[in-house]
Structure 1
Amino acid sequence: MANLKIVLWAKQGCSYCGEVKSYLEGEGIDYQIIDVTEHDEFRDILDLKYGIRYVPVVEIGQGNTFTAVTELGVEHLQNALEKIKNKGVQTI
């Protein structure tokens, strides 16, 4: 079974980012965080990749292939993870 990597793009003081962190930790899902708080160059990367500069953005993928959850609200992340779970992919 393939392993899945979760990357959370977030900033300090962001309530939506906090909700995503709480959800992932509550579900026991390991994730990496990229803090954009004092790094506008990271927002530039989000702009190039997804056409947005806001956070949170949750990238879900394996190898070099990632998809992103860019919509605000934990329900969008839950839906994306549920689809992946139904395909039988493990998170790491």
Structure 2
Amino acid sequence: MGEALSVVVWSKQGCHYCEEVKQYLKEKEIAYQTVDVTNHDDRRDILEIKYGVRYVPIIEIGRGSVYESVTEIGIPNLEKVLKRVQ
């Protein structure tokens, strides 16, 4: 059996797109962790270093040591990466 799917949603309070992503994952019964960047510029600094952006949502999806990120807004972008990783 393969390693469990890991999903991390970088988000902030009041972000409509972030809530859309979380709702989609809940509906698909995909467990995820949240990193809240609200009032945490140091966490936004991490996003800037890793992906060159400071906005959210950013979704990291992977198994084991292989991860892909979703840096473009929209459920279709999330679905593409989920299909590749699952």
TM-score, structure 1 length as denominator?
0.86
1:66 aligns with 2:67: yes
SS at match of 1:59: strand
> How much does 1:78 deviate?
0.8
Alignment of 1:77-88 (within 5 A): 77-85=78-86
> How much does 1:38 deviate?
1.0
Q: Higher relative CO (CA 8 A, sep ≥ 6), structure 1 or 2?
A: 1
- Structure 1 unaligned segments of length 5 or more: list them: 86-92
SS at match of 2:25: helix
RMSD of aligned residue pairs (Cα, Å) = 1.1
- Structure 2 unaligned segments of length 5 or more: list them: none
Number of the residue aligned with 2:13: 12
- Number of residues paired by the alignment? 85
1:43 aligns with 2:41: no
> Does the CA-based 8 Å contact 2:68-2:81 persist in structure 1?
no
SS at match of 2:14: coil
SS at match of 1:25: helix
| 4+ aligned runs moved over 2 Å, structure 1 | 62-66
> How much does 1:66 deviate?
2.2
- Among the aligned pairs, what percent are the same residue? 51
The superposition leaves residues 26-83 of structure 1 with CA deviations (integer Å, 9 ceiling, x where unpaired) of 0000000000011010000000000000000000123344221000001100111112
TM-score, structure 2 length as denominator?
0.92
